[in-house]
Structure 1
Amino acid sequence: MARELEHLIGIFHHFVTLRLLSRTDDNMTPNRDVAIMNATKCLAMFYEANERYHLIPYTEFYNDAVNEQLDIKEDFPHFKDRKGFTFCDYPFILNPAIKADILKVESMFQMRHELQDAFFRALFQGVNSPYLVLEIHRDSIIRDALHQLECKSPKDLKKQLRVQFVGEDGVDEGGVQKEFFQLVVREMFDPKYGMFVTNEESRLCWFNSSPMDDELTIDEFKLIGLLLGLAVYNGIILDVHFPLALYRKLMGQSVGLEDLKQLDPTLGKGLEQLLEFEGDVETTYDRPFQVDLNAFDQSFIFDLVEGGASIKLTKHNRRKFVDCYADFILNKSVECQFMSFKEGFDLVCHDSAIRLFRPEEVEQLICGSPELDFEALEQATHYDGGWTKDSKIIKEFWEIVHEFTEEQKKRLLFFTTGSDRVPINGLGKLQFVIAKNGGDSDRLPTSHTCYSVLLLYEYSSKEKLRERLLTAIGNAEGFGMI
């Protein structure tokens, strides 16, 4: 069945591709081509069937020709205004990179609108900042962010973000806000706050399910959701380690045992074994419809269903037990925390182009791509100051970098871009520049993280270049870059 489905969608993809590539009338855009419309609608039916039966990877529905030729500035506004056929109505055909571009165009349009609005309001109502400005003390990052963001209106949140660390000279052209988000994430996930717990086996984080009445803590979950939304809106990649379940919940999808298996492999496997157990379930497991929760050195017992204490687990009700157990861990036990988190996220991202994404694609958008393709980065790099790809030091630079460990490559990315994460569309799309900063020197390389520019001296030897570069990326902590 999978092979037949793959063959069928291949036929329709081939047809759409040929129609796109053989167009002779410039006025006959894809959005007006009835044949392309009908083929896309057929693909939609196959996609819905595949979503139900999971026969082939969802990536098989991406169409390269559509993604290469899509006119975002025409298609997306028509989608927003519900004007006729648009590919955005069939997002399964669009890859994550083009969706990220759509989201970027939407964000830039909204930021420009807020900028113009602030300008005109200033003429009649007095000065009003055209930016969302956060003034942050390094020793109170969470408190400052919480205090300043809680009084911002939804319109303010749609302005372009500017972060200023109090007492520092860094002008935020992108690099400062990257560091701000990195520091916020680091603090929020610090065990001392107790807001999230990390599963030791999967290394994934989940909401702390401990019973809580602390209103401040709930506000902090809202802040994290808001910051996640601001990162998406401003194109910032975050070093967060959530399971896919979080993104599924954000997108309004249900979660269950498969999601629990990713978050907690041991627990998930145990529940799966319960479903497959062929012996006497009631005697062997001897437990009611309840779950134990340990928090703050105390043990809490919760019924999985009403009257769960008096309902014994049996072979006949074990499916319900497993479903209720997964539902408790992923939903009921963290409902207050998650709803506050989602409320913050939706303040920025509600009704945005984020709805075009699958949960897996939202994860890529927020966390970046896992693929460190430095060959693609080399091919896309530009040079300044008289250097070219054939310059001796440039050749030596790439020889050194290609020998780096994965961790060293991440450090280099952090040093030059302010983030060790790869953009969703890959390193080949990163506008990376290596510029000459002078002749031979004992000084370390520097960088303009706002513009992804690496400033290199023309070191006298490959060994010196390697040593200076490794020292620089090893010390790259904080906004010590330019």
Structure 2
Amino acid sequence: SKLKVVQPNIRVCDLFFLESYRQVMKMRPKDLWKRLMVKFRGEEGLDYGGVAREWLYLLSHEMLNPYYGLFQYSRDDIYTLQINPDSAVNPEHLSYFHFVGRIMGMAVFHGHYIDGGFTLPFYKQLLGKPITLDDMESVDPDLHNSLVWILHGSRKGLIVCGLGKIDINDWKSNTRLKHCTPDSNIVKWFWRAVESFDEERRARLLQFVTGSSRVPLQGFKALQGAAGPRLFTIHQIDANTDNLPKAHTCFNRIDIPPYELYDKLYDKLLTAIEETCGFAVE
């Protein structure tokens, strides 16, 4: 199944959401099982998996946004989502929920993740499991008195959304090096920069390189590339050190020029993850 959508930015997020909605909803159910190929208008990126992964991630960020009235946060201080009881103010709300279900199914089937998580009763409903009074306690932390129950039930959410917290040791242990070694300055400085980042910047770096800010449930060893599992890769390239690092999301690879100083690598890496988007072509 092939999709061609506008590249999302601040001005066209609504258009990106609606265009994706129209294209996905006109597809036949059997087409949703086919290989997913996505092309952003105006971009050269070829979809070997990375473009579709980022499309699903960015689209989920939009469709789960409470701004659209379909979902709401379960509490002001907790960012799990539940269905908005007032969603019917949008006359098309049932069709949009159908669309959300298709996107979640496509994400699970194709091995990708979405940007968001739901309450545990929501997942149990999806799985056809009965909802108990204890489940409802998890929606409100003030009433919740069973941490063990949460740890047991939250795995259902991880199947769809992946792990939110990034384990740097796991990341290091499951990273491939190309044209460099663990003792290369580029490698040592890269990890030094990662360790200095807060969780948000680490997630943005991961999304810049892989197309998703979430880690698979099995950890970094289970990162997916164009043709199946592919480790995160640091590639030192022979390039002008005025250039920014370049990401290849279909191969989970970051190309880094041989910067002379740590501060320069840090600044260039930060600029790359905060001010650029798009796909390199191989």
Query: Shared fold (TM-score greater than 0.5)?
Result: yes
Task: Deviation per CA, 1:274-332: give whole Å up to 9, x if none.
Answer: xxxxxxxxxxxxxxxxxxxxxxxxxxxxxxxxxxxxxxxxxxxxxxxxxxxxxxxxxxx
Q: Partners of 1:247 and 1:427 in 2: how far apart? A: 24
Q: Partners of 1:161 and 1:359 in 2: how far apart? A: 30
Alignment of 1:88-103 (within 5 A): none
Deviation at 1:264, TM superposition (A): 3.0
The equivalent position to 2:168 in structure 1, one of 359, 365, 374, is 374
The equivalent position to 2:59 in structure 1, one of 161, 164, 184, is 184
Q: Partners of 1:373 and 1:214 in 2: how far apart? A: 41
Pair 1:164 & 2:33 matched? no
Q: What is residue 214 of structure 2 aligned with on the other side?
A: 421
How many residue pairs are counted as aligned between the two chains? 261
Task: Deviation per CA, 1:139-181: give whole Å up to 9, x if none.
Answer: 3223222322223222211101011123332221122212212
Task: Deviation per CA, 1:51-97: give whole Å up to 9, x if none.
Answer: xxxxxxxxxxxxxxxxxxxxxxxxxxxxxxxxxxxxxxxxxxxxxxx
> Is the 8 Å Cα contact of residues 174 and 450 (structure 1) preserved in structure 2?
yes
Q: What is residue 204 of structure 1 aligned with on the other side?
A: 80
> Is the 8 Å Cα contact of residues 251 and 359 (structure 1) preserved in structure 2?
no
Q: Partners of 2:100 and 2:219 in 1: how far apart? A: 26
Deviation at 1:405, TM superposition (A): 1.8
Q: Partners of 1:468 and 1:166 in 2: how far apart? A: 27
Deviation at 1:417, TM superposition (A): 0.7
Q: Partners of 2:50 and 2:171 in 1: how far apart? A: 20
> Is the 8 Å Cα contact of residues 69 and 87 (structure 2) preserved in structure 1?
no
The equivalent position to 1:437 in structure 2, one of 225, 232, 237, is 237
Q: Partners of 2:241 and 2:86 in 1: how far apart? A: 56
> Is the 8 Å Cα contact of residues 133 and 161 (structure 1) preserved in structure 2?
yes
Task: Deviation per CA, 1:208-228: give whole Å up to 9, x if none.
Answer: 112738652211000001100
User: Residues 380 and 201 from structure 1, CA distance in 2 versus in 1: closer, same or farther, beyond 3 angstroms?
Assistant: closer
Q: What is residue 260 of structure 1 aligned with on the other side?
A: 136
Q: Which runs of 4+ in 1 moved over 4 A?
A: none
Task: Deviation per CA, 1:409-436: give whole Å up to 9, x if none.
Answer: 1121111111111111102444111112
Q: What is residue 109 of structure 1 aligned with on the other side?
A: none
Percent identical residues: 33
Pair 1:394 & 2:187 matched? yes
Deviation at 1:465, TM superposition (A): 1.1
Alignment of 1:279-290 (within 5 A): none
Amino acid at match of 1:434: I
Amino acid at match of 2:278: F
Q: Partners of 1:440 and 1:210 in 2: how far apart? A: 55
Q: What is residue 2 of structure 2 aligned with on the other side?
A: 133
Q: What is residue 149 of structure 2 aligned with on the other side?
A: none
**Secondary structure at the counterpart of residue 79 of structure 2:** coil
- Bigger Rg over Cα: 1
> Is the 8 Å Cα contact of residues 57 and 115 (structure 2) preserved in structure 1?
yes
Q: Partners of 2:20 and 2:174 in 1: how far apart? A: 36
> Is the 8 Å Cα contact of residues 6 and 40 (structure 2) preserved in structure 1?
yes
**Secondary structure at the counterpart of residue 205 of structure 1:** strand
Q: What is residue 30 of structure 2 aligned with on the other side?
A: 155
> Is the 8 Å Cα contact of residues 185 and 239 (structure 1) preserved in structure 2?
yes
Q: Partners of 1:417 and 1:212 in 2: how far apart? A: 37
> Is the 8 Å Cα contact of residues 201 and 264 (structure 1) preserved in structure 2?
no
Identify, as 1 or 2, the structure richer in helix: 1
Q: What is residue 226 of structure 2 aligned with on the other side?
A: none
Deviation at 1:182, TM superposition (A): 2.5
**Secondary structure at the counterpart of residue 422 of structure 1:** coil
Amino acid at match of 2:177: Y
Q: What is residue 460 of structure 1 aligned with on the other side?
A: 260
User: Residues 207 and 170 from structure 1, CA distance in 2 versus in 1: closer, same or farther, beyond 3 angstroms?
Assistant: same
Q: Partners of 2:88 and 2:265 in 1: how far apart? A: 54
TM-score by length of 1: 0.51
User: Residues 167 and 403 from structure 1, CA distance in 2 versus in 1: closer, same or farther, beyond 3 angstroms?
Assistant: closer
Q: Partners of 1:481 and 1:192 in 2: how far apart? A: 32
> Is the 8 Å Cα contact of residues 245 and 272 (structure 2) preserved in structure 1?
yes
Q: Partners of 2:23 and 2:209 in 1: how far apart? A: 29
Q: What is residue 450 of structure 1 aligned with on the other side?
A: 250
User: Residues 377 and 192 from structure 1, CA distance in 2 versus in 1: closer, same or farther, beyond 3 angstroms?
Assistant: closer
> Is the 8 Å Cα contact of residues 2 and 37 (structure 2) preserved in structure 1?
yes
Q: Partners of 1:379 and 1:214 in 2: how far apart? A: 48
TM-score by length of 2: 0.84
Q: What is residue 227 of structure 2 aligned with on the other side?
A: none
